[in-house]
């Protein structure tokens, strides 16, 4: 009798365990509309991780669903809203490659540039990303000469060029402090925009809690700790026996 009671109790516990966890068990083989509604529901709740998982299910089970393009764009905009710009760009790439019509592609390309631009909130950060954003912005202007977004892209490009200029000036100042005049000259010559006047450019001001460590772009409190050795000089440093682009131009 006791054995029967123990057996029934065990089965009851297992039943309760599986019933209680059933909501957490992976779902599958659902209609496309079910996955789409779950994506929208979780985006509305701010749970983008779950929304991304439901998107994977929608894409995996219904690769040809007409709901996929809209779901892709919803997640791209949602990630941008939550300042997750790399994920936003991922969904915009997916949308551009798979679903966008020629008119919709223009919107998606603009949002990609905007995502890169908004991912650069701090001065003197991420030289490569600034370059990528400039490259994509210039390509957009060539591809969509009559775009309604053209003036916005021009504004973003102007600020990106100024950010690139200020960053190169900061690197040049660093090489000046390291007594590397040719390297400093190199970085001052790679600024390609003739319309930028150095005396009119105001350097970005970092908050005090970052400025204490980063300095103002011209000096830092830890200057005395920087040794004058190759170990702190970047691979773009120019040695005394090398010619730089500016020297070649001057001899022509």
Average pLDDT over residues 30-41: 94
CA distances from 84 to 119, 120, 121, 231 (A): 8, 12, 13, 35
Q: Indicate the domain borders of the chain.
A: 29-112, 120-241
Name the pLDDT band for 23 (thresholds 50, 70, 90): very low
142 token code pair:
């060539």
At residue 131 the predicted structure's pLDDT band, cuts being 50, 70 and 90, is confident
**What percent of the chain stands above pLDDT 90?**
40
**Cα separations (Å) of 96 from 91, 92, 115?**
9, 6, 14
Using the 8-state DSSP alphabet, how is residue 199 labeled?
Answer: G
d(CA 123, CA 131): 14
* pLDDT the model gives residue 18: 45
* Four-point Cα dihedral 33, 39, 41, 45, nearest 10: 180
Residue with tokens 């319309």: 195
Instruction: Check if the beta carbon of residue 96 is closer than 8 Å to that of residue 69.
Output: no
pLDDT score for 229: 52
Q: Tell which wins on pLDDT, 217 or 176.
A: 176
The pLDDT score that the predictor gives to residue 190 is 77
* Tens-digit pLDDT profile for residues 71-95: 999 999 999 999 899 899 999 999 9
Higher pLDDT, 20 or 78: 78
CATH number of 29-112: 1.25.40
First to last CA, the chain: 104
**Exposure on the CB side of residue 65, measured as CA atoms within 13 A:** 22
* Cα–Cα separations (whole angstroms), residue 225 to 51, 178, 229: 48, 11, 12
Please report the pLDDT score of residue 21 as a whole number: 41
**pTM to 2 decimal places:** 0.67
pLDDT for 231 equals 45
3 state DSSP class of 187: helix
Q: Band the pLDDT of 38: cuts 50, 70, 90.
A: very high
pLDDT band with cut points at 50, 70 and 90 for residue 185:
confident
């Amino acid at each position: 009798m006791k054995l029967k009671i123990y057996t029934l109790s065990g089965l009851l516990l297992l039943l309760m365990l599986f019933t209680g966890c059933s909501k957490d068990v992976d779902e599958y083989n659902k209609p496309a509309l079910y996955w789409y509604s779950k994506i929208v529901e979780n985006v509305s709740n701010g749970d983008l991780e779950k929304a991304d998982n439901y998107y994977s299910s929608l894409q995996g089970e219904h690769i040809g669903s007409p709901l996929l393009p809209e779901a892709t764009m919803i997640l791209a905009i949602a990630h941008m809203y939550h300042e997750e710009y790399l994920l936003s760009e991922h969904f915009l790439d997916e949308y551009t490659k798979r679903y966008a019509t020629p008119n919709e592609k223009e919107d998606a390309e603009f949002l990609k540039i905007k995502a890169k631009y908004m991912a650069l909130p701090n001065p003197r950060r991420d030289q490569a990303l600034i370059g990528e954003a400039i490259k994509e912005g210039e390509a957009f202007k060539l591809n969509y000469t009559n775009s309604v977004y053209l003036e916005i892209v021009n504004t973003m490009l102007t600020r990106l060029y100024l950010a690139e200029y200020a960053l190169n000036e900061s690197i040049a100042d660093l090489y000046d402090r390291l007594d590397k005049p040719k390297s400093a000259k190199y970085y001052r010559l790679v600024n390609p925009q003739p319309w930028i006047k150095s005396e009119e450019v105001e350097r970005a001001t970092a908050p005090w809690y970052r400025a204490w460590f980063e300095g103002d772009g011209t000096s830092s409190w830890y200057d005395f700790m920087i040794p004058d050795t190759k170990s702190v000089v970047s691979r773009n440093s120019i040695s005394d026996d090398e010619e730089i682009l500016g020297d070649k131009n001057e001899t022509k």
